[in-house]
């Protein structure tokens, strides 16, 4: 017999405790530690209802070795998961975000063996950080990671990312228009990105994605106003 006493959490960890009289009637107090978000992520489970929502940004990509790379959110954090056998089994999940909460809407791309991920973090009220992360070894580690841009917006930026052999672009919703940041570097630092902003007079927050063909970048997007919806690129 055991009696539940309580539970608390700190960061990713959950600590349940209880009493148990299994030892000849002598009650003892037990404490367990559960790394909740990471354990769930390794099973491709999430506690966030929007784990893969807003699919303007790709959540799953396949590399030239037929490995699949998957990103999603859970509990305000961003997780990366990889399978090398078509989804039959999955390697242990990695948390890409810093454990600071309010991270959401990841997007992933792959090019010539490199993986790139972007996501947003709501830092306060209408303030958002746009993150960039890179892996050069098939997702085993993510050593190049930083806040690429900090924005004040009245709605979620919903960043999306796409790469080719010669450049990478991140684009997101920006005050009735879109903002894009692109780089020609395979291993970019924060200073290696070029910013461009495009505004629309008839837009109520466009939703967009990204595509690359050769050296040309396309930004397909949906624009809605009070009476009509349009698709542009």
For residues 116 and 177, membership in a common domain is answered with yes
- The answer to whether the CB of 225 falls within 8 A of the CB of 204 is yes
Residue 168 to residue 154: CA distance in whole angstroms? 26
For residues 130 and 213, membership in a common domain is answered with yes
- Strands (DSSP E) along 91-193, which ranges? 94-95, 103-111, 114-124, 127-135, 144-152, 160-163, 168-174, 177-183
Work out how many domains the chain is built from and give that number.
Answer: 2
Query: 143 vs 58, 136, 167, 189, CA distance in Å?
Result: 21, 9, 19, 12
For residues 25 and 74, membership in a common domain is answered with no
Tell me the longest C-alpha to C-alpha distance in the chain. 76
pLDDT tens digits for the chain (233 residues)? 455 566 666 655 666 677 776 666 677 776 666 555 666 666 666 656 565 666 677 889 999 999 999 999 888 899 999 999 998 999 988 999 998 889 999 999 999 889 999 999 999 989 999 999 999 999 999 999 999 999 999 889 999 999 988 889 999 988 878 899 999 999 999 999 999 998 765 555 667 677 777 777 776 666 655 556 666 66
CATH of the domain at 101: 2.120.10.10
pTM of the model: 0.78
For residues 18 and 47, membership in a common domain is answered with no
């Amino acid at each position: 017999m055991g009696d539940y006493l309580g539970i608390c959490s700190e960061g990713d960890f959950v600590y349940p405790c209880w009493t148990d009289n299994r030892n000849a009637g002598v009650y003892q107090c037990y404490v367990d530690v559960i790394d909740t978000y990471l354990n769930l992520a390794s099973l491709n489970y999430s506690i966030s209802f929007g784990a893969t929502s807003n699919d303007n940004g790709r959540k799953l990509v396949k590399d030239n070795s037929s490995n699949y790379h998957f990103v999603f959110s859970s509990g305000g954090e961003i997780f990366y998961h990889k399978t090398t056998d078509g989804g039959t089994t999955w390697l242990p999940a990695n948390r890409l975000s810093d454990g600071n909460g309010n991270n959401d809407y990841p997007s992933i791309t792959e090019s010539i063996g490199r993986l790139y991920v972007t996501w947003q973090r709501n830092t306060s009220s209408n303030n958002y950080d746009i993150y960039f992360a890179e892996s050069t070894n098939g997702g085993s580690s993510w050593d190049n990671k930083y806040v690429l841009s900090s924005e004040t917006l009245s709605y979620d930026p919903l960043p999306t990312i796409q790469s080719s052999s010669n450049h990478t672009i991140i684009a997101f919703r920006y005050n009735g228009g879109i903002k894009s940041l692109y780089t020609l570097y395979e291993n970019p630092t924060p200073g290696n990105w070029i910013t461009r902003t495009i505004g629309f007079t008839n837009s109520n927050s466009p939703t967009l994605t990204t595509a690359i063909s050769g050296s040309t970048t396309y930004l397909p997007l949906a624009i809605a106003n009070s009476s009509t919806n349009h698709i542009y690129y």
